[in-house]
Amino acid sequence: MSNSSAPLRIVGIGGTTKAGSSTEKALLACLGAAEQLGVEIEVISGAKLAALPLYSPEETLRTPEQQRFVESVRDADGLILATPAYHAGMSGLLKNAIDLLEDLRDERRPYLDGRAVGCIVTAYGWQGAGTTLTSVRTIVHALRGWPTPLGVTLNTAIPLFDDQGRCTDERVQVQFEMLAAQVVEFARRFRA
């Protein structure tokens, strides 16, 4: 668990194999809003997730990338997960990373226990986003995490970001700020 005098650490996990994807931009916008609230942030992008070998429960040796990933989550006060909706489910990149959290099962804070988790889902259309959000929240809950009341779903068929990755839709930006505020507030309460 984090030192009570250290700044809160919020870890954002997600994206796709495509650098600068809408999912990655959404994650960065939400983490930026969290950083404005005075917390430290860490980004574990899709490119970093792609470097994680496929999770295998019988394999106990971990690569340095896997060890760093588990350590980042272990030390996090809160998390923000972002995934595209692929056939009404989360990306394989994110699912593989989440499966690796089995390494935290015997910790004092097992899995995601005592951590607020914000969830963001992007989809090219609305249909898959809601189903995927429900799935991600269910997995967070199964891992003893606390999904925030607000989950953000985005229809990426509508342009939402400019070339620099800034959100151009004021309503969506407000959602990122609300989600970040919920993760930070719950993290503060859990730490207290």
> For each successive 10 residues of the chain (192 residues), what is the average pLDDT?
77 92 96 97 97 94 97 98 94 97 96 97 91 96 97 94 93 98 96 86
Q: What is the pLDDT of residue 3?
A: 59
Strand order in the sheet with 40-45: 40-45, 9-14, 78-84, 116-123, 146-155
Structural domain spans, the chain: 9-191
Contacts 24+ apart (CB under 8 A), 104-110: 104/70, 104/73, 104/74, 107/74, 108/1, 109/1, 109/74, 110/144
| 8 A C-beta contact, residue 186 and residue 78 | yes
Q: What is the pLDDT of residue 92?
A: 96
Domain 9-191: which topology?
Rossmann fold (3.40.50)
Tokens standing for residue 37? 């609230």
Tokens standing for residue 73? 């989550």
Sort strands 146-155 and 78-84 into parallel, antiparallel or unpaired.
Answer: unpaired
Q: What is the pLDDT of residue 45?
A: 96
| 8 A C-beta contact, residue 42 and residue 109 | no
By CB neighbour count within 10 A (0-12 exposed, 13-18 middle, 19+ buried), where does 5 fall? exposed
Q: String of b and e for 95-114 (b: at least 16 CB within 10 Å)?
A: bebbebbebbeeeeeebbeb
